[in-house]
Amino acid sequence: MDALVEVSGLTKRYGDTLAVDGVDLTVLPGEVYGFLGPNGAGKTTTLRILTGLIAPTSGTVRVLGGRPGQADVLRRTGSMIESPAFYPYLSGLDNLRLLAEYAGVARQRIDEVLELVDLADRAKDRFSTYSLGMKQRLGVAAALLKDPELVILDEPTNGLDPAGMRDMRRLIRELGTDGRTVLLSSHLLGEVQQICDRVGIINSGRMVAEHNVDELRGEQELVVRANPKDQAQAILTRFGSVHQYDDTLRVKVTPDRAAEVNRVLVEAGIAVSELRSTERALEDVFFELTATEEKADVG
């Protein structure tokens, strides 16, 4: 499978600021790739380079087999970079008409994308009267206008309310299952966990990890709160390794054995007040990775 986006050794310098520092990135066809990093990490800068808006200082970039910004590459790429930017005096509909003219897209596609982002009933209102979330949705509609193979979205759920966020995530997930390839950036860990197949973590312009989302989650554990604790710990070691965490015990065992664990503890006369499964959240992994990176910077 040829990669749709291939970036290696990408560097971008703004004066004294090294915004992107030797980033390698590969996005495969049909996947939803999450580009995760804190504010100022270099996400937007990288995405701007991929859409041909800015030139890299060094490194090689190939998008859809071509150079970023080439007409043929742009035609097959839909993007929304940073905040959605449209003509404030035109309606949402007219803004999309305009883009359809530039891109050579048929008129009926406009209605489709407006329907897709649930903006059809406000399409005739001026863009300047839109709420933040509506502007965001128009931005996503514009990105989908060309029916693109590759969709690049920079923080697509920015400014959306919870329901809007849920819809947007579902929409992005659907784009992925439709056979489209999605590259999205986010600083919301839960979001990436929910919608992405793979995630690249960037911090201070450097890629610190690139993993399948499943891989990053790590092993599953059972959280047990029981009394007396020492006795419980002795029994639990039969199931797997045990460590204390705050005043709970954590056992490395698959959650489907929770009932069995409970029965054994109760039969031994131990009071169990809490028993649940947990998994190492992406969040933990993220902070671990970005924190070590910062330490490395200092040292």
Partner 1 sequence: MLGSYRAELLKLRKRSAVWVLFGAGLVLSLIFGYLLPYLGYATGDDNPQTDGVPRAEILRGMLPERVIDNTIGGYPIFAGALALVLGAIVIGGEYTWGTLKTVLTQRPGRGTILGAQFLALATTVALWVVGIFAACALCSVGIAAAENGSTAWPSIGNLLQGLAGGWLVLMMWCLAGAALAVAFRNVALPIGLGVVWILGIETLLAGVVSSLLPGLKWLANALPGSNAGSLVFTVTDMASSDAPPGVRDAVSGGRALLTLIGYCAVFTALAVWTTRRRDIT
Residues that bind ligand ATP (CB under 6 A): 14, 17, 19, 37, 39-45, 187
Is residue 79 at the binding interface for partner 1, with CB under 8 A as the rule?
yes
- 127-166 mask for partner 1 (x: CB under 8 A)? ---------------x---x--------------------
**Rounded to 5 degrees, what are φ and ψ at 60?**
-110, 140
Taking the complex as a whole, the smallest distance from the CB of residue 257 to partner 1 amounts, in Å, to: 52
Residues 91, 127 contacting (CB under 8 angstroms): yes
Q: Determine the size of the site formed for partner 1 (CB under 8 A).
A: 32
How many alpha carbons fall within 13 Å on the CB side of residue 224? 39
The binder of partner 1 chosen from 8, 17, 55, 174 (CB under 8 A):
55
184-198 burial by CB neighbour count: b if 16+ within 10 A, else e? bbbbebebbbbbbbb
Q: Smallest Cα–Cα separation from 284: which of 165, 201, 182?
A: 201
Is residue 96 at the binding interface for partner 1, with CB under 8 A as the rule?
no
- For Mg ion, the binding residues (CB under 5 A) are 44
Residue 74 contact partner, candidates partner 1, Mg ion, ligand ATP, none, CB within 5 to 8 A by sort of partner: partner 1
The binder of partner 1 chosen from 37, 52, 156, 200 (CB under 8 A):
52
Taking the complex as a whole, the smallest distance from the CB of residue 183 to partner 1 amounts, in Å, to: 14
Q: Which is nearer to Mg ion, 80 or 175 (CB)?
A: 80
Residue with tokens 């749709």: 4
Is residue 119 at the binding interface for partner 1, with CB under 8 A as the rule?
no
The binder of partner 1 chosen from 85, 234, 291, 296 (CB under 8 A):
85
Stretch that binds partner 1, among 82-90, 158-166, 192-200, 206-214 (CB under 8 A): 82-90
Taking the complex as a whole, the smallest distance from the CB of residue 294 to ligand ATP amounts, in Å, to: 14
Cα dihedral 41, 44, 49, 51, rounded to 10, equals 160
The binder of partner 1 chosen from 102, 124, 254, 274 (CB under 8 A):
102
